[in-house]
Amino acid sequence: MTMRLAVAMCLALGVAGCASGGPSGREVLTGSIKPDKSRVVIYRPSVLGMAVQPSYVVDGKAAAASAPQGFIVCDLTPGPHKLSVENAQLNISFGSGSDQAKLDLKPGETAYFKAEMQMGLTVGHLTLTQVTVPQGMTDTSDLSQIQAQCPV
């Protein structure tokens, strides 16, 4: 009985670390955006490294924690923007990819970035990779939206 209780507690803690409760990508990301805005979607499809949830940073402002199986949506003014992940300082990534991205968005354009956990020296290291719009829409369809504080 003690082993079953321990397994149940571990499963409950694991689920608590994942994004849940928000609308799915299928519900949120199918509509159009205002013609004078651009959109950035950052998503983390895997539960790998679920205890490590650094913030997504959009134009120097922390937008939301990078919860596994979740995504954020930021509608921004068209033009240049910088995205990053607030990984632990003094942590070295042993994987590929970067925790920063620069982009120049056109009006009405949507850009998708996949956040993936890489091995790090001290803890996991989250990196960002831009993916195509069809890939991003497919990947986010069953993920849960995380409320974000995006720059205006």
**Alpha carbons 54 and 148: distance in angstroms, whole number:** 13
State how many domains the chain has. Answer: 1
Give 13-65 pLDDT, tens digit per residue: 344 445 667 899 999 998 889 989 999 999 999 998 888 899 999 999 999 99
Which domain, by its residues, includes 125?
Answer: 2-145
Confidence bin at 5 (pLDDT 50/70/90): very low
Beta-strand relationship, 110-118 and 79-85: unpaired
Q: Which residues contact 96 (CB under 8 A, 6 or more apart)?
A: 118, 127
The predicted pLDDT at position 32 comes to 82
Is 151 domain-assigned?
no
Is 56 domain-assigned?
yes
Q: Please provide the distance, in angstroms rounded to a whole number, between the alpha carbons at the two ends of the chain.
A: 53
Residue 57: give its domain's CATH number: 2.60.40.1120
Is 150 domain-assigned?
no
Q: What angle do CA 41, 104, 150 make, to 5 degrees?
A: 40
Is 29 domain-assigned?
yes
Is 125 domain-assigned?
yes
Which residues share a beta bridge with 64?
56
